[in-house]
Structures are given as structure tokens and as C-alpha cells.
Amino acid sequence: MHSPRPAVVARAPGRVNLIGEHTDYNGGLCLPFAIRLATTATVTPRADDQLRMTSTEAASGDTLWQRYVVGVVAELRAAGWTVPGLDIGLASTVPLGGGLSSSAALECAVATAVAGLLGIPLDADTRRLLAGACRRAETDHVGAPTGGMDQLASMLGAEGHALLVDFADPGGPATTPVPLPVTAAGLALLVTDTGVRHSLADGDGGYAQRRRECEAGEPRRLRHVTTENDRVRAAVEAIDDGEWDRLGALMTASHASLRDDFEVSVPQLDLAVETANGAGALGSRMTGGGFGGCTITLVAADRAAVVREAVDAAYAERGWANPVHHLVEPGPGAEVLSTAG
Ligand code: GLA
């Protein structure tokens, strides 16, 4: 009789960046956190060396997500792991392409499931190694020149904590968990998805262009990076001191810098930020690469509904489709859920 083939299930979260945008590929600081929306990967070894994948999310004809998976397996093999052929099943609650790092969640879920399959413990070093492999899957296999923040947040995020990442550390990105007790402080973190979609996997797109401008030392772009690093440091202090108004002000200043100096905002993001602040939020900013995607707003828990409604009304007034809101909180990083046979 055949024994059942072992299957491993793992989950990896999307992320929101609280502050510190377009700093990762500039050797700077960022402060993301893992959210509860996540991708689940089920991997089962095959007798041959093929990769077969199915996804509950995939729009027919869209095969980009498969390149992320192929890239992750190739990078793990390049790191010396003996990865067999696999059947891979994927399901996700992270909105695709919506600025919450659906791609990092996908990559990290597959990498974590493979680690589980090979019996490799998920200690901090392994998590770092997987984050690096997943970033290279994205940059070298898919052609999205991203900076590494998303995969670190997904792999190393911790319940109730943001993750301070310092990309200047010569030993590789240094990560420090920062307790983020927003709920205990009577606050909420509201993510507003503008519905404007962007692609980072576009070599001619704005993201790649910004990277080139930073490499070329364009003063206006670098002014954003320098002031943003200062804001991240100040944000960590504000959080430590429970100075939530100050954190909110830093978030709004970050948005202004991304809009005016770095020029990666769009009118839908600007309107969401201005309306949220006008409706009594402590602060608000675009989060992620920009050119669409989401805002993150810090607001008193009992005002979150008022802010949502105000943003919806502002969009309706311009004839724009309703944005989608998510209340988010810092959740755990990637984990193996089961290794059942
Ligand atoms: C995207 C990239 C990240 C980072 C942000 C901007 O999310 O994937 O690496 O560069 O943009 O902060």
C-alpha cells in the first residue's frame, strides 16, 4: 500500500508600512508590520522534479504569480536546499496588487512551507535567509526591483509589534521589534485601498525610475530619503513615549514628502489622506511604493467609522469608486501551520 505523501501547510502575512517609504533600497530605515491578511501555501512533494501550482485567486491567463513561486524554489535551491518537485496549492486573503504586499506573502508562504517540508526550523537566521531568497525571487526572476522591506516584514513580523529595519547595517538588514500598543491606547490603524492599481514588475515604471534617480543622486529625491529616515527615528521615539499625536504628525509629514519631494502619490491617495485628517485622524499617509495602492491612517478607535465615511463621501463627490477599508493590527510573521500526512 502507498503511504500518504506528506503535505505541509504554511501561512505568510501581507504587510503595511507604518512609516519609512522608499528608504529600503537607499540603505535607510523603515517600520513595517505584518498584518492578519495572509497567503496560505500547501506543498506536497512529487516523484518527478516538476512544479505544479494552483491558486484560488489566479485570474485566468494571469501567470505572473507562478513566476514568483518558480523564483522562490530556484533561490532556495541556489542556497543549497534540496527541494523536490512540488504540487503547490495557494489561497490568499491579501488583496492582489493592492499595496499590502500580496507578492511577498505569496513568496514567503511558499518558502516557509518548503522549510517545513525539509524539517528546517524557522529560527531568526532561517527567517532572514528566506526573506533574502524571496526578495531575490522578486528582483531576479520577476524583474520587480523591490528593496526587501516586504519580505522581512512577512518573515520576521511579530504579534503586537512593528519591525524597525535598518538597511545600513553592514551585516545585512538589522531588525528590531518595536511594541505597537495601538489598541490599548484606544486607537485604530485604518488601511484605505484606493483601488488604483500599480505594478512594480515594470522596468519602465515609476518605481524603477525612482530607484535610478536615487542612484543618480537627484537632490530632491534624496531629500525625501534623508528626512524620511529622520521621521522613522522620531516615530520610534514617539511610539516608545506613547506620544500618538506626534506619531500621527510624522505620518502626515511623510505623506507630504512622498507627494512633493519623491512624487509617488496620486490624487486618490492625497484625497484619502486629506479627508482622513480633516475628519479627525491623528495622521495619515500613503503606504507602500505609491502610484496607487493604500493609505494608512492612525485614528481614535471611536472615530474610525467617521473617517471611513468621510473618505467614501469625498470619493463619491468626485465620481470615484468607493475605496475599500481594512482595520489592521500587527500580527505574527510567517509560520508552518501543519505537517499532516
Ligand atoms: C514597495 C517595495 C518595497 C519598498 C516600498 C517603498 O513596497 O516592494 O521594497 O521599496 O515599495 O517603501
Provide the CA 219 distance to its chain's centre, in angstroms.
27
Residue 303: DSSP 8-state:
G
pLDDT for the residue 1: 43
- Tens place of pLDDT for every residue, the chain, 341 residues? 444 567 999 999 999 999 999 999 999 999 999 999 999 999 999 999 999 999 987 654 567 889 999 999 999 999 999 999 999 999 999 988 778 999 999 999 999 999 999 999 999 999 999 999 999 999 999 888 899 999 999 999 999 999 999 999 999 999 999 999 999 999 999 999 999 987 665 555 899 999 999 999 999 999 999 999 999 999 999 999 999 999 999 999 999 999 999 999 999 999 999 999 999 999 999 999 999 999 999 999 999 999 999 999 999 999 999 999 999 999 999 999 988 55
Cell numbers at residue 262, please?
519623491
Which atom in ligand 1 lies closest to the alpha carbon of residue 148?
A: 9
pLDDT for the residue 2: 46
User: CB of 11 within 8 A of CB of 155?
Assistant: no
What positions carry a catalytic annotation? 150
pLDDT for the residue 242: 98
Provide the CA 226 distance to its chain's centre, in angstroms.
22
In this structure, the strands spanning 51-55 and 86-92 are: parallel
pLDDT for the residue 60: 46
Which of 15, 35, 134, 146 is the best mutation target for the ligand 1 pocket, counting ligand atoms within 8 Å of the beta carbon and taking the most?
146
Integer angstrom CA distances of residue 127 from 152, 153, 191? 8, 10, 26
Which of 16, 22, 35, 257 is the best mutation target for the ligand 1 pocket, counting ligand atoms within 8 Å of the beta carbon and taking the most?
22
DSSP class per residue in 191-237: EEE------SS-TTSHHHHHHHHHHTT-HHHHHHHHHHHHHHHHHHH
